């Protein structure tokens, strides 16, 4: 695959994630100026990308935890759920900074907060599954220590990585795509839901997809749903719109679906009229380009 195509895919994944997040959030609250404003999903994705760039691709959980604290204190109005702000306040008081989610959730959090931000990890470590898994686990540690939350982030990152490998002009085969994920899922609930996706894509019944896969804030009720939206929608905008139609945790599922679809189709597939309205799009593009340059060593060959 040409390196300029890979650059487009890096940028496309991160922009489509932000676009899905902001479009899903706009379903609940539209901005007065017409801008598409993102939530904590994208804010934390940006923070993760920044941390990776600052650490030359490595993920230091403690440094990342403090990065999350900083972005939360700068913009606490981004729509955070109840858990992360409590964790961030404990970190600021010097308690932790890791596995603090266990104080609020027995066994740790299994929400989708680690999966929603993980696209940069899937992009950067797309060529080495073992390194990808280690990096995902490190990225989860500041907020998610439950296996189900970590596995959701891993499966989302793995989906981004697999989509990155598909040529932009080729269609993803749902059965083939899922068969690459299932052997790497370690828990029964994810394996069962992943196995249902190809049939649900072919069936086309949205209400059945919600019943079988879920649309909630739990990682196991949203990551498989995001993959379904990608495989059924194909193009980023279609995947995002499908996620929004499914209801529930719209912004996060649309964010995750967008990240996968954008990694497949690249930045050229994203509607220009929507990108013009996307908050901080230029900065998100810069981060994606820096990740690409860090990974491959400089500008793509034209």
pLDDT digits (tens, 9 = 90+) for 118-134: 999 999 999 999 999 99
Question: What are the residues facing 36 on neighbouring strands?
Answer: 278
**Confidence (pLDDT) at 219:** 98
**Confidence (pLDDT) at 302:** 41
Count of C-beta atoms within a 10 Å radius of residue 246: 24
Topology, domain 3-296 = ADP-ribosylglycohydrolase fold (1.10.4080)
Cβ(88)–Cβ(69) under 8 Å? yes
Tokens of 188: 């029964």
> Cis link prior to 113 (omega < 30° from 0)?
no
Count of C-beta atoms within a 10 Å radius of residue 222: 29
Indicate the SS3 state at residue 38.
Answer: coil
Low-confidence ranges of the chain (pLDDT < 70): 1, 298-302
Indicate the SS3 state at residue 36.
Answer: strand
The model's pLDDT over 36-93, given as tens digits with 9 standing for 90+, comes to 999 999 999 999 999 999 999 999 999 999 999 999 999 999 999 889 999 999 999 9
- Residues sharing a CB contact under 8 Å with residue 297, sequence separation 6 or more, in sequence order: none
Three-class SS of 73-131: HHCHHHCCCCHHHHHHHHHHCCCCCCCHHHHCCCCCCCECCCCCCCHHHHHHCCCCHHH
**Confidence (pLDDT) at 29:** 74
């Amino acid at each position: 695959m040409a390196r300029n195509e890979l650059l487009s895919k890096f940028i496309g994944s991160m922009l489509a994630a932000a676009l899905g997040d902001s479009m899903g959030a706009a379903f609940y609250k539209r901005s007065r100026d017409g801008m598409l404003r993102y939530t904590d999903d994208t804010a934390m994705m940006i923070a993760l990308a920044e941390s990776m760039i600052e650490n030359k691709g490595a993920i230091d959980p403690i440094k990342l935890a403090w990065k999350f604290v900083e972005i939360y204190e700068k913009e606490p109005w981004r729509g955070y759920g109840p858990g992360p702000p409590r964790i961030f306040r404990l970190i600021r008081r010097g308690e932790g900074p890791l596995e603090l989610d266990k104080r609020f959730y027995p066994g740790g959090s299994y929400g989708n907060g680690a999966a929603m931000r993980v696209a940069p990890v899937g992009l950067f470590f797309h060529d080495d599954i073992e390194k990808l898994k280690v990096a995902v686990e490190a990225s989860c540690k500041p907020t998610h220590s439950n296996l189900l939350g970590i596995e959701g982030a891993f499966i989302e990152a793995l989906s981004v990585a697999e989509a990155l490998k598909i040529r932009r002009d080729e269609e993803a085969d749902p059965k083939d795509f899922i068969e690459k994920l299932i052997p790497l899922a370690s828990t029964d609930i994810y394996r069962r839901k992943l196995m249902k996706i190809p049939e649900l894509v072919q069936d086309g019944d949205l209400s059945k997809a919600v019943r079988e896969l879920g649309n909630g804030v739990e990682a196991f009720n949203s990551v498989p749903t995001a993959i379904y939206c990608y495989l059924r929608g194909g193009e980023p905008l279609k995947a995002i719109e499908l996620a929004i139609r499914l209801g529930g945790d719209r912004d996060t599922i649309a964010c995750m679906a967008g990240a996968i679809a954008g990694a497949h189709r690249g930045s050229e597939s994203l509607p220009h009229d929507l990108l013009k309205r996307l908050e901080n799009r230029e900065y998100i593009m810069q981060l994606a380009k820096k990740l690409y340059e860090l990974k491959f060593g400089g500008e793509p060959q034209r």
